Amino acid sequence: MRYLKDQISYDKFRKNWFDYMLMQYELTDKLQQFNDKGQLIQLQYRYEYGPRCEFTQQFHQLWSQYFHQHPTLSNEKVKVLLTTKHQYSLNSLLTEEKSMNSIQ
């Protein structure tokens, strides 16, 4: 009985995983189509701390509010892709790992 439950759980996980991978491939294809047509805008912003998802939602809401009737910047005409850049501390940027040769 234990193995049957494990097999059912595995089959369910496997199906969900393949569905997720298929969705990722479809989204990648859509982004590539937007990029090929020159309709993809990629914006990067520095992310330190805070509600990143909330910022993304507010950005998209403001974008659609201001550009909803724009001939080239409306949501139907262009895809805006927001990505974050992590703000590293000065300490982590100045620190280097010592190689094995320098230790000996």
Q: What does the pLDDT read at residue 87?
A: 64
Instruction: Enumerate the domain spans of the chain.
Output: 1-37, 39-104
Nearest CA-CA partner of 80 in 92, 70, 89 = 70
In tens, the pLDDT along 40-82 reads 887 777 766 667 778 888 888 988 888 888 888 887 888 888 8
In tens, the pLDDT along 16-28 reads 999 999 999 998 8
Degrees (nearest 5) of the Cα angle 34, 35, 36?
A: 95
Q: What does the pLDDT read at residue 102?
A: 55
Say yes or no: domain 39-104 is CATH 3.30.429.
yes
